Each structure stands twice: as structure tokens, then as C-alpha cells.
Amino acid sequence: MKPESELRNNLKQIRNRLGLSQQDLAKITGVSRQTISGVESGQYAPSATIALRLAKVLGCQVEDLFWLQEDYIDVEAIPTQAVPVAQKVRLNLAEVGGNLIAYPLFGEEAFRTEMIPADGEGWRETDNSKIIVKLWDSQDKIKHTVAIAGCTPVLSLWAKFAEQWYPNLRVSWSFANSIEALERLLRGEVHIAGMHLYNPETNSHNISFIKNILTNQKLVLINLGFWSEGLIVQPGNPKRLRTVVDLTNPAITIVNRELGSGSRQLLEHLLNQDQIPFTAVKGFNHIVNSHVAVAQTISTGKADAGISIQAIATAFGLGFIPLHKSQYDLVIIKDYLQEKPVQQFLNTLGHQRLHSQLISLGGYDTSQTGEIITTIEPKN
């Protein structure tokens, strides 16, 4: 039996990104503000006429605004490896020989490094900074690509979800820590930068760091989620670590992240807060460049602890000690919001199926996912 479907919508998020109030949208569309409110809250299913008007006014397709979400159904599958009893596990599925096979997403299977297909081959003929590229793929595919830089593997999960929802969309995700991602955005190399930097002086995330290096661009911050950040430790926490103070024990070795990363910044803040010199922590200068590398270093016994997120600890079967609730925001040059690939990518932030994926990772709060945090004006 096919499950019943429920009408969902992305109207509020798209309206907010365009800077329209409910009253503004109602006036332009020719309906009442109560109608807009009812549609956004899911209490009112719009007619085809109203749905088409809304899409036209907001410059998008009806499918960008409304979709039918089916209830979840239960199926039975055969796992390819042992799965803990009564513990939820993220899985991929495939039908093989008439059987539904489940592939548990543990360790590197959850956060995999893949060879990326190229769009072409390029070379430089002169000292000019530009290169000549022989395309192997269509220009249309390139025009439908949105580029994002950030450090969380969640970006690849979101990218795949968006590509499934919009078959013509392609998401190009490149790894960069928070500062590098922001700098790449301001250099015009990507559409979106992901950041999770904390300022203890203002008890806020990201905004002050952006203002420090912002030039002449108007930026919009959109929330991707809040995550639990802290110490990843060996399974069962055999060294009985509780806080960063325990890292001063000479028997404890840590692995650290590079300058510009949110994890490195959090560790330094917590050590400074407890007046602990960095030199008192063994392994402080043992640097790796990703959340996954932190987990791999600890899982192989080369370090006892390191700062990362709960989702990474869960994926690698490691212990986790929460120390901070971090805010991960997407930074976008406002003009880019008019570009169709960017609109499509951001539209998927409102889908419950994406939220379910994020929540299942562990330590994720999606209560503000897709919401505009603020708009930052350029310096005078």
C-alpha cells in the first residue's frame, strides 16, 4: 500500500531570503496575509492558481515551493556487517539478487574520500593567469553547478540530497576550514562558505570574524545547524577524560587542527579560559587538517583525544565529551541568491528528509536550519 502524502512547503525561507514580509508577499500575489500565514504553517493547502502566482512572484518553480512528503515506511534488509542491538545506524540500501541489502555507514564508509570526475583538461599557454580548458562535459552542466567550501562532511551529505531532489543540479564541495572558506568566498571562488567560529568576547558565532575581513560585499548568513563539539576519545573513555584540564596530564596525547579551523579555535579558547598554556598539552602541535583525520588518528591509537563533533565520533565508534554547542552558518554574497543553482541548493534546507539525515548523525540541532541569521553590510 502506498503511504499517504502530506503537502510541505518552503515558502517562508524563500520569502525571507528575498526580504519580503508576509504582508508584502500577500499584496504582490493578490491574496490576504492570513492566506500566506496559513500556507507557511501548513494549515492551508493553496489552490493551483495561488501556487502558480506565488512561484511567479518569487521567481522559482512550483516544485521549489511545494512538495508531497510521504510518510516513512518500514522495510527489512540484510546488513553486510554486524549492527549493534537497539542502536540506530545510518545505512545505504541496494537490491541485490532479489534481496534488500543494507550497508552500515561506519568509519570511512560514512565519510569517504572519492576520486572526483573532471569536467575537462586545462593548460596555460602564456604567463596570463587564465588557462585554456578542453571541456569533457557540457557547459550546461557547469552552469547548473553551485560551489561551496567548508570543513564539515555534512556538506557532502547535503550536496547528494540536493542533487537527488534537483537532477540537473550539481554541487561542487571543496574542503576548507572556516577562515579559508570565507576568504575563498570573498575572492569570488565559491558561491557559499561554511563557518563555525566562536567569539567568547561577544558570546556569538561567525559574525565578528566576517566583519573583520569583509570588504565591499553584502553578505547573508543562513543557518545550517547547531552541533555538539567537544573531545573525541578512545571507545569507553579509558583515560577518564572530562575537560581540557585533563589534557595537561603528561600521559595524554592529543591531535590538533590547523590555524583558521573552528576546532582549533575552540580548543585554544577553552585552554585560555582555564589559564592553561598550550605548551602544557602534549601533541598540541600535532596538526591534521580535517574532522575525519582527527577521528582516524584517535581510532588508530596515535592520540588519546582531539576536538571534533559528535557526529564524527559516532561514525567512527569513538567516545565523545561535549564541551560546546557550535553554530554552523552558510555565508553567501547576497547577489548570488538570484542565481538558480544557488536557489535550488538552498531550497532543500527546508526538507524534513534532509533534517532527518542530519539528526541521525548525532549531536545535530536543526531547529533553525535554513533560517536567515543576519545580513552584513559592507564597510564604508
Give the domain CATH number at 365. 3.40.190.290
Whether residues 57 and 170 fall in one domain: no
Cα–Cα distance, 31 to 10 (Å, whole number): 18
pLDDT at residue 1 greater than cutoff 50: no
Cα–Cα distance, 306 to 229 (Å, whole number): 10
**Residue 201 DSSP class:** T
What is the residue range of 162's domain?
138-380
Please give the single-letter amino acid code of residue 290: S
Q: Is residue 85 part of a domain?
A: no
Closest Cα partner for 146 from 15, 368, 333, 327? 333
> In total, how many domains does the chain have?
2
**Residue 379 DSSP class:** P
Beta strands in 155-303, from DSSP E residues, in sequence order:
170-175, 192-195, 198-199, 204-205, 219-233, 254-257, 287-288
Whether residues 190 and 299 fall in one domain: yes
Whether residues 255 and 339 fall in one domain: yes
How many helices (H) and strands (E) the chain has is answered by 15, 19
Sign of CA dihedral 156, 161, 162, 166: positive
Determine the pLDDT at residue 99.
Answer: 85
Domain boundary among 51, 70, 89: 70
Whether residues 168 and 299 fall in one domain: yes
- Full-model pTM: 0.85
Q: 5 falls in which pLDDT band (50, 70, 90)? A: low
Question: HSE of 130 in the Cβ direction (CA atoms, 13 Å)?
Answer: 2
Determine the pLDDT at residue 246.
Answer: 96
Cα–Cα distance, 266 to 323 (Å, whole number): 9
Between strands 99-104 and 78-79, the pairing is parallel
Whether residues 162 and 308 fall in one domain: yes
Compute CA distances 172 → 119, 145, 370, whole Å: 11, 7, 19
The helix-helix angle for 154-165 and 352-360 (nearest 10°) equals 150
Sign of CA dihedral 310, 312, 314, 316: negative
Q: How far, rounded to the nearest angstrom, does the alpha carbon of residue 265 sit from its chain's CA centroid? A: 19
**Residue 138 DSSP class:** -
Whether residues 191 and 308 fall in one domain: yes
Q: Is residue 77 part of a domain?
A: no
- In the chain, the percentage of residues whose pLDDT exceeds 70 is 97
| Digit-coded pLDDT (tens) for 63-118 | 889 988 776 788 889 998 888 888 888 888 888 888 888 888 888 778 777 788 88
pLDDT at residue 320 greater than cutoff 80: yes
Closest Cα partner for 29 from 68, 5, 58? 58
pLDDT at residue 380 greater than cutoff 80: no
CATH number at residue 20: 1.10.260.40
Whether residues 162 and 29 fall in one domain: no
